[in-house]
């Protein structure tokens, strides 16, 4: 892993820190490749169940590194999109822990995550239109899915910022915190997820994430295809046994 992205482990949780504080964690090519590598590690390691993405230096991410872009440093990964995550999301749940600004591509990274915690002082936005640009890393797809459509349209068209408190009220932010506490809240939320069976968590995320694109006549069959391996797993038997024996389950991911 390069210095642009730092990783740490808290039990079954991987904390991924965007680490370019001198540039407000703006995404360059090296950061994009490092974030993609961290996501690959998260998904491939059976000891990990949840990822958290946060930013160093009191801000989440200010978007694309425009200085780098002007020199030909493209902050995308082929097949993975901007920052190595916006087109190909992890299979395991990921929480964005937002302090400071999550703007432009930084907001799109946060929207590519499944859950969000944010400081009351955090600010979100897709300001691309103010620079005659278009938010092309998924923000225009995902923001209307996460907050009311007309509100998403207003902020996408004007390029203005919106507050974490508004984002919480609209349902985008799961946990609103005091300044400096977004990562703590994300870890608490992540630990609650790790108490559930990892196979069931991955299948559940995929069903929730993808079902809107399934044809109505295929919805039940596609859900069954994802459920069947989970329902016949050793973990499913362990969950039932732990309940009957009034003890905590011990998951193996099998």
195 alpha-carbon distance from chain centroid: 19
Cβ 186 vs Cβ 95: under 8 Å: yes
Q: Which helix (H) or strand (E) holds 33?
A: helix 29-44
Q: Which helix (H) or strand (E) holds 47?
A: none
- The token duo for 47 is 């000891």
| Phi, psi values for residue 62, rounded to 5° | -90, 5
What is the percent of the chain with per-residue pLDDT over 70, rounded to a whole number?
99
pLDDT at 98: 98
Domain assignments of the chain as residue spans, ordered by start: 5-194, 198-244
Average pLDDT on 107-116 reads 98
Cβ 129 vs Cβ 157: under 8 Å: yes
| Phi, psi values for residue 60, rounded to 5° | -80, -70
Mean pLDDT score of the chain: 95
Report which DSSP code applies to 27. Answer: B
Q: Distance between CA 230 and CA 29 in Å, rounded? A: 37
Collect all residues with Cβ–Cβ distance below 8 Å to 243 and sequence separation of at least 6: none
May I ask the CATH architecture of the domain 5-194?
Alpha-Beta Complex (3.90)
Catalytic site residues?
108, 128
- In terms of Cα–Cα distance, which of 236, 201, 234, 210 is closest to 92? 201
Cβ 175 vs Cβ 117: under 8 Å: yes
What Cα–Cα distance (Å) separates residue 240 from each residue in 16, 195, 203, 212, 223? 33, 14, 18, 30, 21
Q: Distance between CA 140 and CA 134 in Å, rounded? A: 9
pLDDT tens digits for range 189-221: 999 999 999 999 999 999 999 998 999 999 999
Cβ 36 vs Cβ 30: under 8 Å: no
pLDDT at 69: 79
- The token duo for 40 is 């690959």
pLDDT tens digits for range 137-184: 999 999 999 999 999 999 999 999 999 999 999 999 999 999 999 999
Q: Choose the CATH number for 198-244 among 1.10.12, 1.20.120, 2.10.240, 1.10.10.
A: 1.10.12
Q: Distance between CA 227 and CA 207 in Å, rounded? A: 9
pLDDT exceeds 80 at position 2? no
Partners of 53 in the β-ladder: 16, 96
Q: Do domains 5-194 and 198-244 have the same CATH topology?
A: no
Q: Given pLDDT bands bounded at 50, 70 and 90, which one contains residue 71?
A: confident
């Amino acid at each position: 892993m390069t210095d642009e992205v730092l990783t740490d482990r808290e039990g079954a949780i991987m904390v991924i820190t965007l680490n370019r504080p001198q540039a407000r964690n703006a995404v360059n090519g090296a950061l994009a490749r490092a974030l993609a590598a961290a996501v690959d590690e998260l998904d491939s390691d059976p000891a990990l169940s949840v990822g958290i993405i946060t930013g160093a230096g009191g801000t989440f991410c200010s978007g694309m590194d425009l200085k780098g872009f002007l020199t030909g440093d493209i902050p995308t990964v082929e097949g993975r999109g901007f920052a190595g995550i916006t087109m190909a999301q992890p299979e395991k749940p990921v929480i964005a822990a937002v302090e400071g600004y999550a703007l432009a591509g930084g907001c799109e990274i946060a929207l590519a995550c499944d859950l969000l915690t944010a400081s009351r002082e955090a600010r979100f936005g897709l300001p691309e239109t103010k620079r005659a640009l278009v938010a092309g890393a998924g923000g225009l797809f995902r923001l209307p899915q996460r907050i009311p459509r007309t509100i998403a349209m207003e902020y996408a068209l004007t390029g203005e910022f919106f507050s974490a408190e508004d984002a919480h009220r609209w349902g985008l932010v799961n946990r609103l915190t005091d300044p400096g506490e977004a990562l703590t809240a994300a870890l608490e939320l992540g630990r609650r997820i790790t108490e559930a069976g990892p196979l069931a968590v991955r299948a559940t995320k995929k069903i929730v994430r993808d079902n809107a694109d399934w044809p109505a006549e295929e919805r039940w069959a596609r859900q069954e295809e994802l459920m069947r391996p989970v329902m016949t797993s050793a973990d499913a038997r362990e969950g039932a046994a732990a309940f009957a024996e009034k003890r905590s389950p011990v998951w193996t991911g099998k």
